[in-house]
Structure 1
């Protein structure tokens, strides 16, 4: 095979796991597997020396992972990993064999699910003013905010941020505790915006997804209509593997 422009690597799998029939990757190129010592790297040949993070390429990368994870445990690689040729891929598998095997075993039979909890309110600041007397007092102490100094407004903003982060910590402790009691492993991600109270990645056994759904329902029952719970997935377990590999 002509691999002069490199081999794009999607994931690591057990050697006996074949790519899905007819699966294609970036640029519509067929996906194949390179095997060494019980591990397999899912790759496709590149027609260009560089791969750009364009929408079509990102989508192709994700579609390959989605198809692969439907049948077996995978270790997903981030977008953009390219080896020069087949031999380089085998060297990668050899040098990282112990780490890859350990991580495959750690996520075997498991999927990643996402959970986002958000404040479903018209204005987050006004919501906290109405629910936190200390923030309301700090706001009221300014009097007419139009006449407040810049330093006063900065101080109020910092206090508001502290209040929000304290509440995020409280929500995390409560929700994560419930999910972990149902057998999920929880990874906390940074919130994406002011309205997001919680952003979790959860490692769940394939055959216990219904238990995970019940756990979400149990957690949501502890909160009022000011909160929304949004589940995403299943995904490949990228939040629970460290794919920093020795090359």
Structure 2
């Protein structure tokens, strides 16, 4: 029977899974598969699995329970394979790699940071600081502009906005860098100009969070910093 795989840990990692259930309806029973000094937490694969809230939360609860007792390689929702034998084969073939990743994640947790800049506030900043943009905007608003000037202003504002967002993103990451072990950037979506995950050692977590609050206060209401965590270290598996 196909199996659903939740996490990989070391073979001696506590697996206190009492009261925790797997995905599916009714919830699947969790079990472990061991090989190569490693342990995978799995269950039977339910029929018609989709990312329902119930199942996503069940998947997450397994990660959180295991993380309470040490480092874990959390697999993303929906990871499946043929059977327990296939799980053992993967554990054996990639044992050295997985053990190295577990060591790298030991004593850490993940935080995700997304940042956006309110569009009107950013435009005001550009018009205040760029003489060229301000002159073009003044001429257009006075009715003496040309279609070419409107196009030039649009291109200039786009370039200036990108440059300012890139500089701010770099500054934010650099300010947090002393308190992280690793980082993983993703392509920002929507109005965000920064999406980055940080691997934060437990002994630096307090300073990391304090620095995040300080950055948010310095940037004010025009910029929104959204920090989520602690999370399973999905971005660093």
The normalised TM-score by structure 1 is 0.80
**Kept in 2: contact 1:186–1:201 (CA 8 A):** yes
- The answer for the alignment partner of 2:197 in structure 1 is 201
For 1:244, the equivalent position in structure 2 comes to: none
1:55 paired residue number: 53
* Gapped regions of structure 2 (runs ≥ 5): none
Q: 132-141 or 68-77: which moved more?
A: 132-141
Q: Is the 8 A contact 2:136 2:149 kept in 1?
A: no
Measured after TM superposition, the shift of residue 124 of structure 1 is 5.0
**1:104-161: CA deviations, max 9, x gaps?**
1111111001222332x4735643444442443444455579x965x87665444433
Maintained 8 Å contact 2:126/2:161: no
Distance 2:138 2:198 in 1: 41
C-alpha contact (below 8 Å) 1:8/1:83 kept by paired residues: yes
Query: Structure 1 residues 221 and 32, CA, compared in 2 at 3 Å: closer, same or farther?
Result: same
Q: 1:39 to 1:131 in 2, by over 3 A?
A: farther
Does the 8 A contact of 2:63 with 2:232 survive in 1?
yes
> 2:229 aligns to what?
233
Q: How does 1:74-153 map to 2 (within 5 A)?
A: 74-119=72-117, 121=118, 123=120, 126-133=123-130, 134-140=132-138, 142=140, 149=147
On the 8 A contact 2:112/2:196 being kept in 1, the answer is: yes
Deviations 1:70-116 (A, max 9, x none): 32211111222111111111011112212211211111111001222
Structure 1 runs of 4+ off > 6 angstroms?
Answer: none
Distance 1:217 1:9 in 2: 36
Q: Is the 8 A contact 1:111 1:205 kept in 2?
A: yes
Provide the residue aligned with 1:73 in structure 2: 71
Please give the alpha-carbon distance, in whole angstroms, between the structure 2 residues aligned to 1:32 and 1:103.
22
Name the Cα RMSD after superposition: 2.7
Distance 1:38 1:199 in 2: 35
TM-score normalised by length of structure 2: 0.83
What is the CA deviation profile of residues 33-89 of structure 1, one whole-angstrom value per residue up to 9, with x for unaligned ones?
Answer: 1111211111111232x5323333333222322322232211111222111111111
| Structure 1, unpaired ranges of 5+ | 242-247
For the structure 1 residues 223 and 87, does the alpha-carbon distance in structure 2 shift closer, same or farther, using more than 3 Å as the test?
Answer: same
